[in-house]
Amino acid sequence: MKNIFSGIQPSGDLTIGNYFGAIKNWIKLQSEYNCFFCIVDLHAITVRQEPKRLREKILETLAIYIASGIDPNKNTLFIQSHVPFHSELSWILNCFTYMGETSRMTQYKEKSLKSGESISVGLFTYPILMAADILLYNTDLVPVGSDQKQHLELARDLAERFNNIYSDTFKIPDPYISSTSSRIMNLQSPDKKMSKSDENENSYIKILDDENIIRKKISRSVTDSIGSINYSDDQLGIKNLINIFSSITGEDTYDIVARFKNKGYGDLKNEVSNLLIDELSTIQKRVKELMDNKDYLEKIYKDGAEKAIEASYRMLRKVKKKIGFI
Ligand code: ATP
Ligand code: LTN
């Protein structure tokens, strides 16, 4: 069986961007692949996190994975900081990465604009840690949103560079990016991606938002003054709602446009809210139950760490040997 690796940062409340862009694809792929789904807490501390909240968000992220339908018996679910090899391989790969490669990363450029002078070096080297995550597990496929494409290219380049210097070591991973859900947009500025760390709460929908909040946020989402429903880059807000619709029902975007032919924006918003509430409410109930059963979650992440260590220690040993470490 081929391997999958993917992860989400427990840096806040998971959004429907994380759900449609990542988790839903994981669920689709889990029966055909040997999957490692990680909670990337080491990545989350590239920006300041409050310890109590971080602890809570790590567990909540695990609960969301399981509640969404990822089977902990079939897949390896684990917490990144429980497997020290990630940090260790990350240092080694740091020494094979050029300054120019990391400076070019869009996510770094965007986040550094926000942080100004106090930007951490971790935010700069973040994609190298991500490459280490992926390359440790002989990963074939990495299901992510389209914002991660550039990071994945770096992982491929580093793997190829290392292989060329020392002989075949790493597998070259491929991205898996779906068409309609790869970039769920910000509800207030539909030209930007929806992000859990946005300061405007109305710009995103959390997986755990309740019914009233979902309706309110969707009804206030920014549209345009054109007045008819089309799937077009001139109507980014509407296009985003159609993409969300399609991510839930699996319907083609053309069919959705046809369905709303003589209807207004209010109708589309109402239908998208209904679909979202329906999709998320079962997950929310299960997350609540799981968060009340911390012993169960602990068992999952401990077993997961054991399996992840077992699956990755050989790769690090091989890398160290090839480099010339004793
Ligand atoms: P942060 O705001 O803290 O940087 P984020 O919300 O962008 O976080 P990540 O943890 O960086 O989320 O992303 C986890 C996964 O979710 C990645 O595969 C990423 O591509 C995907 N993802 C995040 N936001 C979106 C989005 N708006 N649309 C589609 N996929 C997304
Ligand atoms: N950088 C990713 C999260 C992440 C990841 C990974 C995704 C860290 N390591 C390995 C896929 C594979 C992000 O979404 N910001």
Query: Does residue 187 lie in a domain region?
Result: no
* 183/160 Cα distance (integer angstroms): 28
Number of folded domains that form the chain: 2
> Is there a contact between 240 and 185 (Cβ–Cβ < 8 Å)?
yes
From 8, 35, 107, 184, the mutation candidate for ligand 1 (largest count of ligand atoms within 8 A of CB) is 8
Query: Does residue 158 lie in a domain region?
Result: yes
Residues 138 and 167 in one domain: yes
> For this structure, is 74 an active site residue?
no
Query: Does residue 192 lie in a domain region?
Result: no
The per-residue pLDDT for range 53-99, each reduced to its tens digit, is: 999 999 999 999 999 999 999 999 999 999 999 999 999 999 999 99
**Residue 168 sits in which domain range?**
3-177+294-323
> For this structure, is 294 an active site residue?
no
Q: Which two tokens stand for residue 311?
A: 């699956």
* 249/261 Cα distance (integer angstroms): 18
Residues 164 and 138 in one domain: yes
Identify the pLDDT of residue 97: 98
Residues 35 and 85 in one domain: yes
Q: Which atom of ligand 2 is nearest to the CA of 8?
A: 3
Query: Does residue 95 lie in a domain region?
Result: yes
Cβ(107) – ligand 1 distance below 6 Å: no
Q: Which atom of ligand 2 is nearest to the CA of 5?
A: 12
Residues 138 and 211 in one domain: no
Distance from residue 26's CA to the centre of ligand 2 (Å)? 13
Residues 119 and 237 in one domain: no
The residue among 117 and 286 whose pLDDT is bigger is 286
> Where do we find the tokens 């929908």?
205
Which of 57, 111, 206, 217 is labelled catalytic? Answer: 111
> For this structure, is 114 an active site residue?
no
| CA 236 to mean position of chain CA atoms | 22
Residues 170 and 319 in one domain: yes
Residues 57 and 161 in one domain: yes
Which of 24, 57, 192, 193 is labelled catalytic? Answer: 193
CATH number for the domain spanning 42: value is: 3.40.50.620
Q: Which residues contact 153 (CB under 8 A, 6 or more apart)?
A: none
Residues 249 and 317 in one domain: no
Q: What is the pTM of this model?
A: 0.96
The per-residue pLDDT for range 157-206, each reduced to its tens digit, is: 999 999 999 999 999 999 999 887 789 999 999 999 999 989 999 999 99
Cβ(151) – ligand 2 distance below 6 Å: yes
> Is there a contact between 184 and 20 (Cβ–Cβ < 8 Å)?
yes
Query: Does residue 55 lie in a domain region?
Result: yes
Distance from residue 19's CA to the centre of ligand 2 (Å)? 14
Cβ(240) – ligand 1 distance below 6 Å: no
Query: Does residue 189 lie in a domain region?
Result: no
Residues 57 and 162 in one domain: yes
